Structure 1
Amino acid sequence: MISLRTDRTAERPTLPASAIAHVMSLLETRSPSLPEWFEVAEAYRYVAPAPTVPALMEAARTYLEHREALLRLAGPRGQYLADHNPAWAQLRRVGSRRDELWLSPDRDDRLAWFDYIRTVDPALATEELDIAWDNEPADLRREFLSRLSVGLGEHDYDILERGLDDPSPPVRERSIQLLRQLPESPFAERMATRAHTWVRLETKPLRPRLVIRLPGSLDDKAPRDGIEDVGAQYKGIGKWWLRQVVTATPLSLWEAMIGSPHDVLRIPIEKQWHEVMTESWTAATVLQKNPAWASALLERDGRNTDRRVVAIAHPRERIAYILAGHADNYLLGVDGSALLDGIDRPWPLAIAHKLVSALECEAAKHAASGEELGIHSRHSHYSTLRSAQARFPLEAGALLLDAAERTASTDWQRAFTETAAHIEARRIRLDVLRGGQ
């Protein structure tokens, strides 16, 4: 049995009334500060006062991305209300093998149960899906598989192997997509066997290089693993096969064959195969979420690194990359924002210094242009300013106020002071939580 009802309200402090007003306001504006607020509230194990629980339950139904955090605030009383209000049935957080939501004829109820259980016991969700598999329609099998990304792991190997034999093409396709993310699965082992046969390290007569020798035809099990005889014909069927295999091969194979990710990315490759190998390694890095490979790609490609790869690189290395000045000429752009994705809140003060300095340069260019809007206006940097409100350390407010005093652009003065005010409001909200006021 998995239940929130094991909480004993008496042992949890009551959320201050002013904090309830704060969170409802943050929800209404979909503030980027919400994750930080919930993190602190959960650290103190707050439970909402009884009169406010219905509003939190309704918010949990509306704001899906914050549903679980709101339900934890609503606590046992919220679960009691969910038991007695059909409109909130999907907010019930009691799960077991024979839970009535999972046995419900309503597919939305079943998906709600499955979504929640994947967050707390993904193996149980998979086990129940395996039992029900043959009785599910194809579209619902595909829908359940689409939810396996949460909690994906070795407990999913068997159901995904089963998916490879499914009569429904979308189910097979989704199974393959998920298996490519599991570098220790039997599927990955089969791909590694193919890759090891097709690609070898040649050490003579010159320096080491990779040599590709493709088979004349595919093995009998290749179609089941998603390797097809059709593909991007302008690149050749052989390259299509190679791309499918290398993309799904564990990156550890290349490390065992050649060395570190940096060594692999520097290895000479036969010219006709170089592009497909490097593109496939990039795709594998994204699928397998490998931070060492992502960092190596970032070091090699800099600004040209695939944004999906950048976000996987270890935050410590991304911070070092920024502070070393490597991103100075693009930190405020889309490529620069990828460097900051996933870095723990609040950002280091040194990162705030870098961003404020870059924004001041934009403010100076805006003042010199004499234009009301334009690429250097505050409006062109809305996303960065909004991120600063939620992710700058609290002491960075002083940096922004100093910048406001220095800038000649009235519009940018307002941008800096407003951002500093948002940071101060964050401090006040967090003080309420930490002080229980």
Structure 2
Amino acid sequence: MPTTVTSTGAPVNASWEDLVSSAVLGTDRRPLRTEEGAAVSPSALLDAAAAHTVRRRAALRPAVGATLPAPAPADLRPPLPDAARRRLAQLLADRSAQPGGGRRGSAPDLTELIPQWLASAGAHGYRAPAELLPALLDAARARTDLRPHVLAFAGPRGLWLASLNPEWRFALRASSRDARRPDTSDPAAVRRLWQEGLFAERVALLGALRGKDPGRARSLLVSTWSSERAEDRLMFLDSLRSGLSADDETFLEEALADRSRNVRATAAELLSSLPGSALARRMADRATSCVNPDRTGGTVSVAVEAPHECDPAMQRDGVVPVPPSGRGERSWWLGQLVEATPLGVWRERFGGRAAHELVALPVADGWAGELHAAWCRAAVRQRDPDWARALLGAPSTPPANGPGTASLAERSKLLASLPPSERALWVAGFIAAHGLSEAFQLLGVCSVPWDAPLGRSVVDALDIARDAGSYPWSFSGVMGLAERCLNPAEADRLAVLTTTPDEPEGASPGAGGYWSEAFQRLVSTLRLRAAMDAELSQGGAG
């Protein structure tokens, strides 16, 4: 037991535990004593504790230092311009601010501009500032929609930093497939990963091979097809959409006999996308036995006789026998047959008529809706712009009276088959004729930034709604799209809309003020986007 000499010169023979007990209970109840047996004072206790502490620390052995991580890899991309770096810091700082809720006000929503900023910075090929990598990874952890852009922008240093923090492990998972994917030119490495890799790695490998050598990817899949799980076979089969060709037909025909219904359905869908496939011919034979020209009257019309049964051969070719609730069996079967039939068949069947002429023909016995809806699905599947135009019709025509379908979801899919400029022009015409209430889905398939006719059409429709005294929050979704998708060059032209209008009789109380704020926010956001683009275009800075 160590002996400590106090400042009074009296030696105290006590352990650390004795000192603690006396300090806690008090020197009156648990006194410390010198070697001669005399009680020591409280100050002597503190002297002894201080001396004991120094003795204990001096006797400690130094701990082994932690192993330093490997240095961060180099990122040779050019640095951001100074102004762009400051802008990114501002966007990320605003992301972490607490939402205010309630009225949005006239200030731009910076968090909604982060994806656009990241995409632009990536297009310029800049590297992320090292000091902002933690904030970028935090943003990507909170918002999955940011992850692809953040990880591309953060580059190798971002992955290095993510490896040091468990909260950022998502970045390692997202990049693991590329990191472990072998060189597809090495057959042994490809075979090894295909046989031993994780499912996600195998899907990525198949996709990489499919892009370079579709036949080799198909052969790899065939080699283990019979031993794969049903859900895995479905995902692997879906990868054949890339580079689909007649060379895949034999394999897909065999997949029509798969024990999984979902695999059979996907194989049938892929085969029907090949106009020259045997399945497409079989479906065409069935469909043309149901849909034919009727020349009994003075003009040609379309006669329809839906199938009376769904035989095993139809089911093998992907026709689902049991319809959804509320659908009749015969119309359900007919729609599937027409959807899987190559659209060129109908031109031949109806005397060389073009798509818009076929769609305009009268259809007997109330089958027009079912037939046109099936043609819409076929046009989307086969990505046929002529049929898409015909089924969309004139944008000024009310959806319920149009040649194709009144479904806005189906119309959006048809629009995706058209060139971007034509798509934007059609949606602009639709908005001019019908307003914004049904246009949100259609706007979602238009390229960004919106072409000038589409942008003007959206703004004009918003202005009309404002003049009518409508609730501005009824158009908040479209206004949000406009902030992100309008061409920033439109900002000055829209400044006139930021004033508070006189409220017409019967208008929603206070609507004018809300509209003024909404347009102020729109103009401010467009100017901010223009500034962001200019900052990113300045060239690298030190």
TM-score range, shorter chain: 0.7 to 0.9
Q: Is the 8 A contact 1:19 1:433 kept in 2?
A: no
Amino acid at match of 2:425: A
Give the drift of 1:60: 5.5
Counterpart of 1:193? 285
Matched, 1:165 2:257: yes
Query: Which region of structure 1 is more displaced relative to structure 2, 384-393 or 151-160?
Result: 151-160
Name which of structure 1's ranges 275-284 and 259-268 shifts more when overlaid on structure 2. Answer: 275-284
Deviates more, 1:31-40 or 1:398-407: 31-40
Residue 422 of structure 1 aligns to a residue whose secondary structure is helix
Q: Which amino acid aligns with 2:460?
A: S
Task: Find the aligned partners of 1:156 and 1:60 in 2 and give their Cα distance.
Answer: 39
Asked if the contact 1:61–1:67 (Cα under 8 Å) also holds between the matched residues in 2, the reply is yes
Matched residue type, 1:327: I
Give the SS at the match of 1:13. Answer: coil
For residues 59 and 184 of structure 1, the distance between their equivalents in structure 2, rounded to whole angstroms, comes to: 48
Contact 1:194 1:245 in 2 (8 A): yes
| Amino acid in structure 2 at the alignment position of 1:431 | A
Q: After superposition, where does 1:21-170 map in structure 2 within 5 Å?
A: 21=89, 24=92, 33=113, 36-50=116-130, 52=132, 56=136, 63-78=143-158, 87=169, 88-92=172-176, 93-94=178-179, 95-96=181-182, 97=184, 98=189, 106-108=198-200, 110=202, 113=204, 117=208, 123=214, 128-145=220-237, 148=239, 151=242, 153-154=244-245, 157=249, 160-170=252-262
Contact 1:23 1:34 in 2 (8 A): yes
Q: Which residue of 2 aligns with 1:14?
A: 79
Amino acid at match of 2:411: V
Question: Secondary structure, in 3 states, of the residue corresponding to 1:47?
Answer: coil
Indicate the SS of the match to 1:188. helix
Residues 1:116 and 1:53: Cα distance change in structure 2 (over 3 Å): farther
Q: Which runs of 5+ in 1 are unaligned?
A: 1-7, 367-375
Q: CA separation in 2, counterparts of 1:378 and 1:253? A: 49
Counterpart residue number, 1:330: 434
Cα offset for 1:215? 6.9
Residue in 2 aligned with 1:296? 390
Q: Does 1:384 align with 2:478?
A: yes
| Alignment match, 2:491 | 397
Q: Secondary structure at the match of 1:407?
A: coil
Q: What are the superposed Cα offsets for residues 269-295 of structure 1, whole Å, 9 maximum, x if unpaired?
A: 332543432221122233334333222
Separation in structure 2 between the aligned mates of residue 106 and residue 237 of structure 1, nearest angstrom:
42
Q: 1:283 aligns with which of 377, 394, 410?
A: 377
The structure richer in helix per residue is: 1
Give TM-score, length-normalised by structure 1: 0.78
Tell me: CA distance 1:349–1:223, structure 2 relative to 1, closer, same or farther (3 Å): closer
Q: Distance in 2 between matches of 1:403 and 1:252?
A: 50
Distance of 1:383 and 1:159 partners within structure 2:
46
* Gap runs ≥5 in structure 2: 1-73, 97-108, 401-405, 503-511
TM-fit CA distance, 1:415? 0.9
After superposition, the CA RMSD in angstroms is 3.9
* Residue range with higher mean Cα deviation, 303-312 or 45-54: 45-54
Structure 1 distance, partners of 2:537, 2:393, is 41
1:240 and 1:287 mapped to 2: Cα distance? 18
Cα 1:254–1:60 change in 2 (3 A) is farther
TM-score under structure 2 length normalisation? 0.64
Q: Which moved more, 1:269-278 or 1:173-182?
A: 173-182
Q: Which moved more, 1:197-206 or 1:291-300?
A: 197-206
Whole-angstrom CA distance in 1 between matches of 2:173 and 2:325:
51
Deviation for aligned residue 1:382? 1.1
Cα deviation, residue 365, structure 1: 3.2
Q: Distance in 1 between matches of 2:440 and 2:202?
A: 37
Alpha-carbon contact 1:331-1:337 (below 8 Å) kept: no
